[in-house]
């Protein structure tokens, strides 16, 4: 069967002397492993079309669960990602993240769109890479079914007052904001300001076009980073090598 699908290359690897393998995040089929046969005479476009971060229209043949690459028309190579080690490390984290949460046969069009928007934003560096990572994590987890409750206490459903001077508590395990009383029964509760809570609501609900078009104060960034990391680690238990690499280069 011949399949034509738009997809992003989220992993490329060569096993010994044999064929090249790529992992594609496709619009309709979710994550699939594809063989890019070495025997095929590569033209230049075919070889560059199988690189990490290439978004294109892929033509594949499928036999049972095996997919082989026939051709690819590149839509965006996201080439500038490689110009900066920091950008490359964050983009690698995004790729590793989607590899972990996507599955074969489960289309995740929204998550694919979010991933593409995020890669574009990482290249433009309009705001800090740390902020973009937090935005991606929170929005991705919301798309994946882990949207945190931010309007009322997730435990007792009490409406929380909206006041710039109020301190709020976020519980990853609880799955959202907790009132002062309910937060006492959670060992791990993260204090966040009104501005951070507001920013989180914005990240979850705004359109993709506006998602990376804002900046925040250093305090909000710090709180947001902490919440997003904690929330991600709670729902995705994998240790991301690329995230560890980011920590290493930022400690230098
Ligand atoms: Zn409560």
Q: Helix, strand or coil for residue 157?
A: coil
Residues in the chain: 252
**pLDDT higher than threshold 90 for residue 177:** yes
The whole-angstrom distance between residue 17's C-alpha and the CA centroid of its chain comes to 32
Q: What is the domain extent for residue 199?
A: 79-251
**How far, in Å, from the CA of 153 to the mean position of ligand 1?**
5
Q: Label residue 138 by pLDDT band (50, 70, 90).
A: very high
Q: How far apart are the two ends of the chain, measured CA to CA in Å? A: 51
Cα-trace Rg, the chain:
20
What pLDDT, on a 0 to 100 scale, did the predictor assign at position 43? 56
What are the residues whose beta carbon lies below 5 Å from ligand 1 (ion)? 153, 155-156, 179, 182
Helix, strand, coil shares of the chain, percent, nearest 5, are: 45, 25, 30
Q: Do both 189 and 204 map to the same domain?
A: yes
**How far, in Å, from the CA of 156 to the mean position of ligand 1?**
4
CATH number at residue 9: 2.40.50.140
Phi, psi dihedrals of residue 7, rounded to the nearest 5°: -155, 160
What pLDDT, on a 0 to 100 scale, did the predictor assign at position 170? 97
In tens, the pLDDT along 91-106 reads 999 999 999 999 998 8
Q: Do both 29 and 129 map to the same domain?
A: no
Q: Do both 99 and 27 map to the same domain?
A: no
Q: Do both 103 and 57 map to the same domain?
A: no
**How far, in Å, from the CA of 222 to the mean position of ligand 1?**
25
Q: Do both 116 and 67 map to the same domain?
A: no
Q: Tokens 């492993």 label which residue?
A: 33
Report the share of the chain in percent with pLDDT over 70. 96
**pLDDT higher than threshold 90 for residue 144:** yes
In tens, the pLDDT along 21-63 reads 999 999 999 999 999 876 555 555 567 889 999 999 999 999 8
Q: Do both 177 and 241 map to the same domain?
A: yes
Q: Do both 65 and 102 map to the same domain?
A: no
Report the share of the chain in percent with pLDDT over 90. 77
Q: Label residue 64 by pLDDT band (50, 70, 90).
A: confident
Last residue of a domain, one of 46, 76, 106: 76
Q: Do both 158 and 209 map to the same domain?
A: yes
Q: Do both 10 and 70 map to the same domain?
A: yes
Q: Do both 86 and 177 map to the same domain?
A: yes
Last residue of a domain, one of 76, 103, 124: 76
What pLDDT, on a 0 to 100 scale, did the predictor assign at position 65? 79
Q: Do both 176 and 225 map to the same domain?
A: yes
Cα–Cα distance measured from residue 131 to residue 226, given in angstroms and rounded to the nearest whole number: 11
Cα–Cα distance measured from residue 219 to residue 192, given in angstroms and rounded to the nearest whole number: 10
Q: Do both 37 and 151 map to the same domain?
A: no
Last residue of a domain, one of 59, 76, 93: 76
**How far, in Å, from the CA of 173 to the mean position of ligand 1?**
14
Using H for helix, E for strand and C for coil, what is the string for 92-143? HHHHHHHHHHCCECCCCHHHHHHHHHHHHHHHHCCCCHHHHHHHHHHHHHHH
**How far, in Å, from the CA of 231 to the mean position of ligand 1?**
19
Domain count for the chain? 2
CATH number at residue 155: 1.20.1440.120
């Amino acid at each position: 069967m011949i399949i034509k699908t738009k997809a992003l290359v989220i992993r490329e690897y060569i096993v010994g002397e044999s064929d090249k393998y790529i992992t594609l995040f496709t619009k309709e089929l979710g994550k699939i492993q594809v063989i890019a046969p070495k025997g095929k005479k590569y033209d230049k476009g075919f070889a560059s079309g199988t690189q990490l971060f290439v978004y294109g229209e892929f033509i594949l043949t499928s036999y049972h669960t095996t997919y082989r690459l026939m051709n690819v028309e590149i839509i965006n190579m996201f080439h500038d990602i490689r110009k900066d080690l920091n950008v490359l490390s964050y983009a690698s984290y995004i790729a590793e993240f989607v590899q972990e949460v996507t599955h074969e046969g489960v289309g995740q069009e929204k998550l694919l769109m979010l991933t593409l928007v995020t890669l574009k934003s990482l290249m433009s560096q309009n705001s800090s890479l740390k902020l973009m990572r937090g935005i991606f994590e929170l929005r991705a987890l919301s798309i994946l079914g882990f949207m945190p409750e931010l309007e009322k206490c997730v435990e007792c459903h009490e409406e929380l007052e909206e006041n710039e001077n109020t301190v709020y508590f976020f519980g990853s395990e609880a799955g959202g904001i907790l009132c002062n009383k309910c937060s006492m029964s959670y060992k791990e509760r993260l204090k966040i300001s009104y501005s951070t809570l507001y920013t989180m609501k914005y990240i979850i609900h705004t359109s993709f076009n506006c998602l990376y078009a804002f900046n925040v104060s250093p305090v909000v960034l710090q709180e947001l980073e902490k919440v997003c990391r904690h929330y991600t680690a709670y729902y995705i238990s994998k240790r991301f090598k690329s995230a560890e690499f980011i920590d290493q280069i930022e400690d230098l």
